[in-house]
Amino acid sequence: MNYANKTILTGVKPTGTLHIGNYVGAIRPAIELGHQVNQSGRHVMFVADYHAVNAIKDAPLLAQLTKEIACAYLACGLNPNHSVFYRQSDVPELFELTTILMAYTPKGFMNKAHAYKAAVDKNIAKGEPQDAGINMGLYTYPVLMAADILAYDTDMVPVGKDQVQHVEIAADIAGSINALYDKEVLKIPTSFLTESAQVLPGTDGRKMSKSYNNVIPLFAEDNVLKKAVMGIKTDCQDINAPKNPDEILLYQIARGIAPENVVGEIKEGLEKGGMGYGTIKKMILQAITDEMAEKREKYMYYLSHFDEVEDMLQAGAVKARALAHPVLERVKDAIFNR
Ligand code: ADP
Ligand code: TRP
């Protein structure tokens, strides 16, 4: 894609301890994209801590998860000098813009929004009143997300399928403001699907997810990592039987994380027969260790020197505020006829 003069923005919600699925599906692609964009455009990447407050009221936990996400991105190669990297709660312009956008957001949009509907469906499935436990933060989630996006004249937002609708809501709100005042007050963003990001299965074969207790943690110590990898579910086919690799969970996991030559070796071993599951687990463990060892060291360093990370986040917030301020002024000029 051509990113010349384009602003690309990604937000990450700090709601759980990271696993290998988050790494291959979200962290690695976001950082790679950042490197591509930075050559010709602007890359904005932030920790969406106010979005997380809707779900997490345990303050020390939220602080810890926010730290972990920030350190993980830096450890995995995000360059804070090239990307605008900050904590959402450090940019007050976003919340002023949110208040403005509220007045232009039809309530019906919120009733149909994905995050809210998913919460309602969960309640209904449990036989509870449909709005049980749902706060206004979750209900109006897409308005804050629209402010996140619109505050920097963002052109493109790389997202997973579940977030496309939220970006469309941002585009709709911006479009109606532009129509009302008959000028381009806000830039209309578009989403693009991060389809290349594969879904990594967990140790039980379902999607790897913190909700399923089937994760291989991202920065775990060797013994914890080993236990998780050795616990990957296997079948009881004869070791010598030729197998279809696509039907073997170990192979699907290896494909997500191991280098091509190792994946090739496993594929051949399964197709021919004779390669045991224990051997494959050892190869996967080695691949994860090779991929993560240096990153884990950096991650541990950043976690224990968080004051350095805090400085980077603060410097990022200064950059973000400088970008958001003129956009906010432009909106206020339009709506108050200043
Ligand atoms: P979880 O499913 O563990 O709750 P989240 O929903 O918080 O994870 O996802 C955070 C990010 O990581 C999202 O961008 C999501 O697409 C990605 N992600 C989560 N699990 C996987 C997986 N198993 N494979 C690929 N990407 C994943
Ligand atoms: N809603 C996104 C998620 O749940 C996180 C997010 C918040 C975001 N603001 C954003 C993503 C702006 C892209 C753009 O994953």
Q: Is residue 211 part of a domain?
A: no
State the ligand closest to the CA atom of 18: 1
Of 135, 50, 147, 53, which is closest to residue 98 (Cα–Cα)? Answer: 147
Q: What is the pLDDT of residue 170?
A: 98
- 12 contacts 47 by C-beta, under 8 angstroms: yes
CB proximity list for 255: less than 8 A, separation 6 or greater: 198, 263
> Stretch 53-81: mean pLDDT, rounded?
97
Which of 33, 159, 190, 209 to mutate for ligand 2's pocket (most ligand atoms within 8 Å of CB)? 159
60/184 same-domain check = yes
Strand, helix or coil for residue 190:
strand
Give the structural domain span for 156.
7-200+306-335
Of 83, 98, 10, which is closest to residue 48 (Cα–Cα)? Answer: 10
267/247 same-domain check = yes
Q: How confident is the model at residue 314 (pLDDT cuts 50, 70, 90)?
A: very high
Q: In the chain, what is the greatest distance between 2 CA atoms, to the nearest angstrom?
A: 78
**Mean pLDDT highest for which of 100-104, 210-214, 254-258?**
100-104
317/195 same-domain check = yes
Q: Is residue 1 part of a domain?
A: no
Percent of all residues in the chain with a pLDDT value above 70, rounded to a whole number: 99
Q: What is the pLDDT of residue 161?
A: 81
Q: What is the pLDDT of residue 197?
A: 57
Q: How far is the CA of 5 from the centre of ligand 2 (A)?
A: 22
71/117 same-domain check = yes
Alpha-carbon 119 to chain mean position: 19
The reply to whether ligand 2 has any atom less than 6 angstroms from the CB of 163 is yes
Q: What is the mean pLDDT of the chain?
A: 95
Q: Which residue type, as a one-letter code, is found at position 41?
A: G
> Stretch 279-285: mean pLDDT, rounded?
97
263/119 same-domain check = no
Residues counted in the chain: 338
Q: Is residue 214 part of a domain?
A: no
271/321 same-domain check = no
Site of tokens 């004051």: 307
Q: Is residue 319 part of a domain?
A: yes
Q: Is residue 282 part of a domain?
A: yes
Q: Is residue 208 part of a domain?
A: no
Q: What is the pLDDT of residue 216?
A: 96
In this model, does residue 164 exceed pLDDT 60?
A: yes
Q: Rounded CA gap, 258 and 114, in Å?
A: 34
CATH number at residue 263: 1.10.240.10
Q: What is the pLDDT of residue 16?
A: 87
194/329 same-domain check = yes
pTM recorded for the entire structure: 0.93
State the ligand closest to the CA atom of 207: 1
Q: How many domains does the chain have?
A: 2
Q: Is residue 207 part of a domain?
A: no
Q: Rounded CA gap, 257 and 259, in Å?
A: 7
Q: How confident is the model at residue 196 (pLDDT cuts 50, 70, 90)?
A: low
Q: How far is the CA of 160 from the centre of ligand 1 (A)?
A: 9
Which of 22, 24, 194, 208 to mutate for ligand 1's pocket (most ligand atoms within 8 Å of CB)? 22
Q: Rounded CA gap, 246 and 259, in Å?
A: 17
24/161 same-domain check = yes
CATH number at residue 115: 3.40.50.620
Return the sign of the alpha-carbon dihedral for residues 211, 213, 217, 220.
positive
102/44 same-domain check = yes
143/287 same-domain check = no
Q: How confident is the model at residue 331 (pLDDT cuts 50, 70, 90)?
A: very high
